[in-house]
């Protein structure tokens, strides 16, 4: 069962493994916030937008017949925001400096999720 302790442990472990990551958010695929590294008034909005953007990336990948999308990188002036799916129920979004906002960063996170994401499953 997915608990706040498991989510916190997963996010902390990812942060230790990849210290360039900032502002980790974990949300359901519907945009419900499950974890936010920085608790602001915009947490729910960012979670909902992240889930929406992941859904758009997945739909675009399907339309282009590219298979399953590993995620999306949104580049801003000074940072990038990366979104990828943790499992069937959860999406993760996080911020990195623009120099670290690369496809390799996305793949490194996807590899970490593949190895450690099994503990993140929602029980209904």
* Cβ-contact 5, 12 below 8 angstroms: no
The number of domains in the chain is 1
Q: CA–CA distance from 124 to each of 9, 65, 88, 117 (Å)?
A: 21, 32, 13, 18
- Decide if 3 is inside a domain: no
- Decide if 11 is inside a domain: no
Of 103, 82, 68, the residue nearest 26 (C-alpha):
82
Domain assignment of residue 52, given as a range = 18-119
- Decide if 9 is inside a domain: no
pTM of the model: 0.77
- Decide if 64 is inside a domain: yes
pLDDT, tens digit only, all 124 positions of the chain:
678 888 889 888 888 888 888 888 888 888 888 888 876 777 777 888 888 888 888 888 888 887 777 778 888 888 888 888 888 888 888 888 877 657 777 778 878 878 876 656 544 3
* Cβ-contact 95, 75 below 8 angstroms: no
- Decide if 48 is inside a domain: yes
Query: The CATH number of the domain where 46 resides is what?
Result: 3.30.450.30
């Amino acid at each position: 069962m997915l608990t706040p302790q498991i989510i916190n442990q997963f996010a902390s472990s990812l942060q230790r493994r990849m210290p360039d990551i900032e502002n980790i958010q974990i949300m359901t695929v519907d945009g419900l916030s499950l974890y936010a590294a920085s608790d602001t008034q915009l947490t729910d909005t960012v979670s909902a937008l992240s889930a929406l953007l992941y859904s758009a990336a997945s739909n675009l990948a399907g339309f282009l017949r590219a298979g399953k999308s590993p995620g999306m990188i949104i580049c801003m002036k000074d940072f990038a925001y990366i979104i990828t799916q943790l499992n069937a129920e959860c999406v993760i979004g996080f911020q990195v400096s623009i120099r670290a906002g690369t496809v390799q960063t996305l793949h490194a996170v996807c590899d970490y999720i593949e190895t450690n994401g099994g503990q993140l499953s929602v029980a209904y």
